[in-house]
A and B are shown apart, each in its own frame.
Chain A
Amino acid sequence: MNTTTEKNSALFEYLLRLGDTSLILGHRLAEWCGHAPILEEDIALTNISLDHIGQARLLLDYAGKIEGKGRSEDALAYHRDARQFRNLLMAEQPNGDFGNTMVRQFLISVYNFHLYSALSKSADAELAAIAAKSVKEVAYHVRHSSDWLIRLGDGTTESHERVQQSINDLWIYVDDFFNGDEVDVLLMSQNIVPDLNAIRPLWNETVQLTMVKAGLQIPQVNSAMRTGSRKGNHTEYLGYILAEMQFLPRAYPDAEWL
């Protein structure tokens, strides 16, 4: 393989990681449509979902171009199986209650915020532009989910206990955020992506700030951390999402939006 082919195949992988996380989280949030506790939240969750789907479209469309095999954003979204998906494990976790959805959103949004901030300075102009656009939307996701974490953590005894339990449950998927591999190393050497080890302290600091305000604790678990998203090793939940999301285009391959 020459160096351009190597770079493109690494960039394709990396774009799938970003794009799939947006796609799957966007799909999860869309499940709230018509079910949120209040109308404003129904609108907020579906707006955030729309942002994620929009980001996924740009990232997967670009991934298809980089791969150069003529796969469109739709082909990538609808015609890959679970083992070929590269989304963060946390993104595919079920919604649970409203607080649980907000914890998942908060942890991923803070990660996206720092990652996209760094990617907006990427040596790859297209990726830099997508990141610069996305980070401004992610900023609203951070603010919204932080506000809710504070309201729930600093709310009633029950809301505090439930949201703390969600943090404890979801925390085992945090290491997966930062578990970079040879794809990162290759792209880092060309200043296309940042070092995830440098993103982690920024993430810690922003998360800690809100946790303190909310009166919530960062759990002490190190042994049971789950990783593997970058190699397509997912939790059982992803398959069910794909079954629902992909059914129509697989059953009716010629179906088109009119």
Chain B
Amino acid sequence: MTDTSDISHIRNLLTQVQDPEVPVLTIADLGILRNVEFVDGVYEIQITPTFTGCPAMKAIEENISEVLVENGIQNYKVRMVMSPAWTTDWISELGREKLRKYGIAPPSQSTEEHLKAILTGKNKAVACPFCGSVNTRLTSAFGSTACKALHYCDHCRQPFEEFKCH
């Protein structure tokens, strides 16, 4: 009993699954949900890891299971897909706007710019999510979770987090 409408139904259910660390974003906004396919009698939910050591991946898998089971879907499995590697370039424009409203600056650079900056030392200024000023400075590249860095805005005098370019 499968057709494309089942798959789009499952996909719709899963777009409601939130990221455990950044609940304002769904796994669809982040680009973690890669694909839903019907393979050998089971619905295969393909997801991709974000940061390699991100402990939230386990929670995301559990949240996916919960949503599916609640909706009476038993024949599924969650498969981790590595290639192509996830990047913050895939966060949708809507996702970036949601982040800003939540008080987290979206990634300020593309992956390519980020890797180049390591060799040149030239990083783009991060705009404050509260006042929009670029008069900000990095406090620490490592924050409360693997995906966030700490900054301080010298204009509105607020500390804020940035979703790190990955």
Does B119 make an interface contact (CB < 8 A)?
yes
Does B53 lie within 8 Å of A55, measured CB to CB? Answer: yes
Instruction: Please give the distance in Å from A10's CB to the nearest CB on chain B.
Output: 20
B83, A129: Cβ atoms closer than 8 Å: yes
User: What chain A residues lie within 8 Å of B146 (beta carbons)?
Assistant: 47, 50-51, 54
Which residues on B sit within 8 Å (CB–CB) of A136? Answer: 87, 111, 114-115, 165-166
Q: Which of B62-114 contact A (CB under 8 A)?
A: 82-87, 111, 114
Q: How far is the CB of B47 from chain A (nearest CB, A)?
A: 14
**B164→A140 contact, CB < 8 A:** yes
Contact A139 B83 (CB under 8 A): no
Contact of A125 with B83 at beta-carbon distance under 8 Å, contacts A55-B52, A136-B114, A206-B119 already known: yes
What is the minimal beta-carbon distance from B6 to any residue of chain A, in angstroms? 29
* A113 nearest in chain B by CB position: B118
Find out whether the CB atom of B54 lies under 8 angstroms from the CB atom of A133. Answer: no
Residues of chain B lying within 8 A (CB to CB) of residue A140: 141-142, 164
Quick check: B142 and A48 within 8 Å, CB to CB?
yes
Query: How far does the alpha carbon of A113 sit from the alpha carbon of B118 in the complex, in Å?
Result: 9
- The interface on chain A, measured as residues whose beta carbon lies within 8 A of the other chain's beta carbons, has a size of 33
Scan residues 119-157 of chain A and give those whose CB is less than 8 A from a CB of chain B: 120, 125-126, 128-130, 132-137, 139-140, 142-144
The binding surface of chain B is classed by DSSP as: loop
Whether the pair B85, A143 counts as a contact (CB closer than 8 A) is no
- Let me know if A117 is at the binding interface, CB within 8 A: yes
- Residue contact A139 to B52, C-beta cutoff 8 Å: no
A residues in contact with B144, CB < 8 Å: 43
Q: Distance (Å) between the CB of B112 and the closest chain A CB?
A: 10
Question: What does the 1/0 interface line of A46-75 toward B look like (CB < 8 Å)?
Answer: 011011111101100000000000000000
8 Å CB contacts to B: which residues of A13-60? Answer: 40, 43-44, 47-48, 50-55, 57-58
In the complex, the 6 A-B pairs of residues with the closest C-beta atoms, listed nearest first: A54-B53, A54-B52, A129-B83, A50-B53, A47-B142, A44-B142
Can you report 22 A-B residue pairs in the complex whose CB atoms are below 8 A from each other?
A: A43-B143, A47-B142, A50-B53, A50-B55, A51-B52, A51-B53, A52-B53, A54-B51, A55-B52, A57-B53, A58-B49, A128-B83, A129-B83, A132-B85, A133-B49, A133-B86, A133-B166, A134-B52, A136-B166, A139-B115, A142-B118, A144-B142
* Residues of B participating in the A interface, judged by any CB pair closer than 8 Å: 49, 51-55, 82-87, 111, 114-115, 117-119, 139-144, 146, 150, 164-166
